[in-house]
Structure 1
Amino acid sequence: MSGDSNQAIFVAGHRGMVGSAIARRLTSLGYRNLITATHAELDLTQQADVEAFFRTRRIDQVYLAAAKVGGIKANRDYPAEFIYENLMVEANVIHSAHQANVDKLLFLGSSCIYPRLAEQPMAETALLTGTLESTNEPYAVAKIAGIKLCESYNRQYGRDYRSVMPTNLYGPHDNYHPENSHVIPALLRRFHEAVSADASEVVIWGSGTPMREFLHVDDMAAASVYVMGLDTPTYAANTQSMLSHINVGTGVDCTIRELAETVAKVTGYRGRLVFDATKPDGTPRKLMDVSRLGALGWTSTIGLEDGLRDSYQWFLDNQDRYRA
């Protein structure tokens, strides 16, 4: 990342998986003036509080990593919370940044913004070309709104608000809730508990045939800082306009069955895998077209098995907080 290492950088969502990784990345690059706020200190869904936060601080850049996230079950059970909280957070932060004359902001979206049956791999141009996956539509709509917020402030006010769309993320500080987590932390916890209990089988939601792409959060943080650091002419030339968003991923996917087999290997589980096809599969395939980011000079470096081992070690080191 180019620029003044003394710049004041607000990392919204610094305690989450992505926000904490971005904070680590910035710190490792020598940025010393990171601004953070816990939920108790600042509720990002409250407009007046967010406006006051920006008004009373000098902020040069914003990384908007704060979001309500969850797996298929959580999205199915709490659709109102997923659309409301994400809309409020992004609207409040983006608008308050503009009011405070913050010119640079990076919004982190999600690959679920693309249509359920989008051509694979999914290019940035697939946005709004078809019907969304029903299991996470409210969350996806909120994330699409975030992209359009950034685009609108760029068009109307000449801001430099950029958006990156990560594929499925995993890594340290992930959510390991037994019901409301994403597939990798859910599987890591389930297989770990199966090893501890010497269970003969592990039941996995769905048929095992959907294909997914996974990116370690440290790679996502590196990509985010890289994109933020691109000069405006380079960014604009490679995104077709200042209104575009950029996919971030590995460009490689695997089936859920293959993922489960790799998790079993990492955790040392040797029992039987059972796939419950009565549970929803979600989108058949989600692979990102990352050629645009590749043209900008960035590619991922952490392979899936290595990333899973890192994630599992973090879980082992922090599992006390997940015993419930």
Structure 2
Amino acid sequence: MTVLVTGGAGYIGSHMVLALVDRGEDVVVLDDLSTGFDWAVRPPAELVVADVGDIETVGGLIESRGIDAIIHFAGSIVVPDSVADPLGYYLNNTVKSRALIEAAVKGGVKRFIFSSTAAVYGMPQVNPVGEDAALDPISPYGSSKLMTEAMLRDTAFALDFNYVALRYFNVAGADPKGRSGQSTPRATHLIKVACEAALGKRPRLEVYGTDYDTPDGTCIRDYIHVSDLARAHVLALDHLRAKDENLVMNCGYGRGFSVLEVIDAVKRASNVDFEVRTTDRRPGDPAALVAAAGRIRDALGWAPERDDLDLIVTDALNWERHLMTRAKGA
């Protein structure tokens, strides 16, 4: 049995590959390297450079490699970019996902794990937000992911096909062994940006809005360590191999930290008091977005191992230092 990981040369996908390889799975990575890196795919995983929307290529891999499950990460993820380029996001995240699902069905692959997002909830009225909350995305990014969830639901209803959709909250950190981390140059995630500011890779850090209805006026988010997230996918894979049951679950810790709390954590870990500037709110940012995380714990027996903001920040900072060393040696 072989697992196909789309987008496996990217941030979260590369950690998924590590988790699978660490437990002896055969892994094939499909990635066009538009945002991923070939060096992020650690042997013995096989890298195939191609487009996830290429049905013939995916079909050939399913047949030749004996694929029994697909874990789908490939796609575009920057919310403001999705507002500026909605058609591009619907192409990458929805149209190509449809092609991948079709290839899976044609090839007899019955197990599919999908990388979804908390952006499907839009501006939730209640936190923590549960899986049964209203689905009202406010960006093409969130809408494109929700459309793929709908395609998976309808395919599973009609055919011999099962899926797990995992709705990520704010993913951060890096592999504790230093094998992978967030490497995208244009990354917008707060912890990575703050680590770059601490190490002098950015002149300052900007805080978007300090007048939210939160204790310190800045946005609150639920930060989940990428290694805990990868392990959730492993458990989802085990679930699909054992049961014909579809699941939709949040991936978060169930508690949040404000922007200023995250900045303080990065300053503590780096021992650098980097410049922070405040500016206006960004359109569409909810004041708080925290996961109700009981379903994934109950359904999969998932128990996080790195649920600590200082630990998440330290791992991210160590990876950022690694990237600086790598760049010097290039």
TM-score normalised to structure 1 length:
0.83
Quick check: 1:132 aligned with 2:137?
yes
Letter in 2 for 1:142: S
Q: 1:13–1:158: structure 2 CA closer, same or farther, 3 Å change rule?
A: same
Q: 1:245–1:268: structure 2 CA closer, same or farther, 3 Å change rule?
A: same
**1:85-138: CA deviation from partner (whole Å, max 9, x where unpaired):** 11133112112111100011111101111131342111111142xx433xxx10
Look up the match of 1:86. 93
**1:184-239: CA deviation from partner (whole Å, max 9, x where unpaired):** 21221123217xx9x7x643333261110111111100011112212678784xxx
1:167 offset after TM fit, Å?
1.0
1:48 offset after TM fit, Å?
4.2
Look up the match of 1:239. none
Q: How does 1:308-319 map to 2 (within 5 A)?
A: 308-319=313-324
Do the aligned partners of 1:176 and 1:189 also contact (CA within 8 Å) in 2? no
Look up the match of 2:6. 12
Letter in 1 for 2:31: T
**1:69-97: CA deviation from partner (whole Å, max 9, x where unpaired):** 22x54344433322321113311211211
Look up the match of 1:291. 294
Q: Which runs of 5+ in 2 are unaligned?
A: 34-48, 175-180, 211-216
Look up the match of 2:208. 205
Rounded Cα–Cα distance in structure 2 between residues aligned with 1:202 and 1:82: 27
Quick check: 1:222 aligned with 2:216?
no
Aligned residues: 299
Segment drifting more, 109-118 vs 45-54:
45-54
**1:14-33: CA deviation from partner (whole Å, max 9, x where unpaired):** 101111111111111121x2
Q: 1:132–1:105: structure 2 CA closer, same or farther, 3 Å change rule?
A: closer
Q: Secondary structure at the match of 1:26?
A: helix
Rounded Cα–Cα distance in structure 2 between residues aligned with 1:121 and 1:181: 24
Q: Hey, which bits of structure 1, 4+ residues long, moved more than 3 A?
A: 45-57, 72-80, 231-236, 278-281, 320-323
**1:235-291: CA deviation from partner (whole Å, max 9, x where unpaired):** 84xxxxx3x411111111011111111112222222553321354471111101111
Q: Which runs of 5+ in 1 are unaligned?
A: 1-6, 237-241
Segment drifting more, 276-285 vs 288-297:
276-285
Residue of structure 2 aligned with 1:27, choices 2, 18, 21 = 21
Rounded Cα–Cα distance in structure 1 between residues aligned with 2:286 and 2:156: 32
Q: Secondary structure at the match of 1:126?
A: coil
Look up the match of 1:58. 66
Rounded Cα–Cα distance in structure 2 between residues aligned with 1:46 and 1:231: 25
1:13 offset after TM fit, Å?
0.9
Do the aligned partners of 1:170 and 1:311 also contact (CA within 8 Å) in 2? yes
Q: How does 1:1-324 map to 2 (within 5 A)?
A: 7-31=1-25, 33-39=26-32, 41-70=49-78, 72-128=79-135, 131-133=136-138, 137-172=139-174, 173-178=181-186, 180-193=187-200, 202-207=205-210, 209-230=218-239, 236=245, 242=246, 244-277=247-280, 279-280=282-283, 282-296=285-299, 297-302=301-306, 303-319=308-324
Q: 1:301–1:174: structure 2 CA closer, same or farther, 3 Å change rule?
A: same
Letter in 2 for 1:251: G
Segment drifting more, 256-265 vs 225-234:
225-234
Do the aligned partners of 2:167 and 2:251 also contact (CA within 8 Å) in 1? yes
Do the aligned partners of 1:175 and 1:185 also contact (CA within 8 Å) in 2? no
1:53 offset after TM fit, Å?
3.9
Do the aligned partners of 1:122 and 1:288 also contact (CA within 8 Å) in 2? yes
Q: 1:177–1:232: structure 2 CA closer, same or farther, 3 Å change rule?
A: closer
Q: Secondary structure at the match of 2:305?
A: coil
Letter in 2 for 1:37: L
Letter in 1 for 2:258: T
TM-score normalised to structure 2 length:
0.82
Do the aligned partners of 1:251 and 1:288 also contact (CA within 8 Å) in 2? yes
